[in-house]
Amino acid sequence: MSNQTITLWRPVGPEELALIEQLGMRAFPPRLAEQPIFYPVTTEDYAVKIARDWNVPASGVGFVTRFEVRKDYLDQFDVQIAGGTAHQEYWIPAEELDAFNAAIVGEIVVVQTFR
């Protein structure tokens, strides 16, 4: 097992953040039935855009989280381009989320809030 990590970001709304807090800021909650993919993003700028432009209109507040994931775990997934080269994300199948969470090193940290 490698000790190298990759920094990822995830934009979340207040409900998902509450669930992350219940998990001790160390894991993401299970996906809902209509959410077959968990998609952390590769840049803070992309996470900000989603939190500000999607989460705020949908729920009044958007948060950007930052966390570290073991590189040896992420190596099995390709970075996906979602609409433009600045929009890069990993597509983690919902059934892989427990393994993804186990590969998180340290805590999930809220780095920005938008209202």
For residues 111 and 10, give the distance between their C-alpha atoms in angstroms, rounded to a whole number.
10
Predicted confidence at residue 84, as pLDDT, reads: 84
Q: How many Cα atoms sit within 13 Å of 41 on the Cβ side?
A: 23
pTM for the whole structure:
0.94
Averaged pLDDT, 87-98: 97
- The confidence band for 1, taking pLDDT boundaries of 50, 70 and 90, is low
pLDDT digits (tens, 9 = 90+) for 56-84: 999 999 999 999 999 999 999 999 998 88
Instruction: Considering only residues 82 and 51, tell me which one the structure prediction assigns the higher pLDDT.
Output: 51
Q: What is the pLDDT of residues 19-50, one digit of tens each?
A: 999 999 999 999 999 999 999 999 999 999 99
**Helix, strand, coil distribution of the chain in percent, nearest 5:** 35, 35, 35
